[in-house]
């Protein structure tokens, strides 16, 4: 089986990128950005939380685990993979507190296996999906990449331990890394091809658009006495398609200078409160989302905003959707289309997956 080369004839063929977790929320947007940019893409996803329908047929798809070293090695060799973008992992902070070893296994232990396969097969570039949870409760806002890494939950630790593995690996082997630390990712593909599809999501914008569509009774506002403009928590919401574009540009920068390693905050450098978000959802949906005011969640910082000067100086990233209402509009449109998608995917799921011979 060969990767599908979507470059027009006569143009140089771009190297194949393996995307782990490419059927998940952020991964599937990155798959689209790369395919739109003419890159050959191979996806590896165990469909534990991802959806087959989120990956277009123009990407080669494998259902399997990143810790299956034999499988990863054969994918790298069969498709001549030169870069890996690694999204597969677990992302629910409270779950990481209740079940830390699951997080150290899924996000740290399995990443070690993947990185090992990458190094041994000669993959030269590795882009890693990291998180602003690395900073814990920052001393000052906006928070830069140089701020101390002091996670306050196992999720954050599981991610920075993988960051550390990459830093050490890049010193010892011919592989460079791009570590992208995401702030609050939201929205959906503007063309409606993928979005946040996970059931039981806990993130504010997803919850708020579900409420606007009557899928839940309202939204609990966690904390009203923070030291912020209106007392509710402030976050730096970044549109998932802008984030996807940041991955592509980071990879291009890493390929242009193979000794260069990059650690970049991904955010717009401005914050919105919970009430700003709910008001935007009301405006965009034409509904009035019900608010229940509750105690803050343990460990929630009052405000988390990226200092994004490094990413703006380092790669030619020009965000297209840095507008809260646009983010909400796309999240809402995706939420509306989701039930039909889910039904469709149950029908096609089993027929659309490449079978993997392992004997
Ligand atoms: N939040 C809220 N109600 C919810 C979910 C989140 O008030 O149902 C608040 C949360 O306290 C934080 C902000 O919304 O101030 C963003 O939370 P989210 O869980 O989306 O992301 P986090 O910043 O925790 O990673």
Task: Answer yes or no: is 189 within a domain.
Answer: yes
> Tens digit of pLDDT for each residue in 155-212?
999 999 999 999 999 999 999 999 999 999 999 999 999 999 988 889 999 999 999 9
275, two tokens: 């009430």
> Tens digit of pLDDT for each residue in 16-63?
999 999 999 999 999 999 999 999 999 999 999 999 999 999 999 999
- The catalytic site residues sit at 155
> Number of folded domains in the chain?
1
Task: Answer yes or no: is 356 within a domain.
Answer: no
- Out of 204, 218, 304, mutate this one to test ligand 1's pocket (max ligand atoms within 8 Å of CB): namely 204
Task: Answer yes or no: is 254 within a domain.
Answer: yes
Query: What's the mean per-residue pLDDT of the chain?
Result: 92
CB atoms within 10 A of CB 69: 15
Q: Parallel, antiparallel, or unpaired for β 41-45 and 16-20?
A: parallel
Which residues constitute the domain of residue 323?
Answer: 16-343
Task: Answer yes or no: is 353 within a domain.
Answer: no
CATH, residue 73: 3.40.50.720
> What is the residue with the minimal CA distance to atom 12 of ligand 1?
233
Task: Answer yes or no: is 348 within a domain.
Answer: no
Task: Answer yes or no: is 7 within a domain.
Answer: no
162, 153, 63, 64: which is closest to 107 by C-alpha?
A: 162
Where do we find the tokens 């899928």?
Answer: 215
Task: Answer yes or no: is 251 within a domain.
Answer: yes
> What is the residue with the minimal CA distance to atom 11 of ligand 1?
222
Task: Answer yes or no: is 62 within a domain.
Answer: yes
């Amino acid at each position: 089986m060969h990767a599908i080369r979507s470059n027009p004839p006569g143009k140089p063929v771009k190297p194949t990128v393996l995307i782990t977790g490419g059927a998940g929320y952020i991964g599937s947007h990155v798959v689209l950005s790369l395919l739109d940019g003419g890159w050959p893409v191979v996806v590896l996803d165990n469909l534990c939380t991802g959806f087959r329908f989120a990956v277009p047929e123009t990407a080669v798809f494998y259902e399997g685990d990143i810790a299956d070293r034999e499988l990863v090695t054969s994918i790298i060799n069969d498709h001549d993979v030169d870069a890996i973008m690694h999204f597969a992992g677990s992302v629910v902070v409270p779950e990481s507190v209740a079940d830390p070893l699951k997080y150290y296994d899924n996000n740290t232990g399995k990443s070690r296996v993947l990185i090992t396969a990458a190094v041994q097969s000669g993959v030269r570039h590795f882009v890693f999906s990291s998180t602003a949870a690395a900073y814990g409760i920052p001393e000052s806002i906006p928070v830069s990449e140089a701020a101390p890494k002091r996670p306050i939950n196992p999720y954050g630790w599981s991610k920075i331990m993988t960051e550390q593995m990459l830093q050490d690996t890049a010193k010892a082997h011919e592989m460079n890394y791009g570590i992208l630390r995401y702030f609050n990712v939201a929205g959906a593909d503007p063309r409606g091809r993928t979005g946040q599809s996970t059931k039981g999501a806990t993130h504010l914008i997803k919850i708020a658009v579900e409420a606007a569509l009557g899928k839940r009774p309202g939204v609990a506002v966690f904390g009203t006495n923070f030291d912020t403009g209106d007392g509710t928590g402030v976050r730096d919401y970044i549109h998932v398609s802008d984030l996807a574009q940041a991955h592509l540009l980071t990879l291009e920068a890493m390929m242009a200078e193979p000794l260069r390693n990059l650690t970049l905050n991904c955010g717009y450098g401005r914050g919105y409160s919970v009430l700003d978000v709910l008001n935007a959802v009301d405006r965009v949906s034409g509904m009035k989302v019900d608010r229940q005011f509750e105690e803050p969640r343990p460990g929630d910082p009052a405000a988390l905003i990226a200092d994004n000067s490094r990413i703006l100086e380092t790669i030619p990233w020009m965000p297209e959707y840095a507008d809260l209402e646009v983010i909400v509009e796309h999240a809402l449109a995706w939420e509306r289309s989701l039930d039909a998608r889910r039904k469709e995917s149950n029908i096609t799921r089993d027929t659309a997956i490449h079978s993997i011979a392992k004997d």
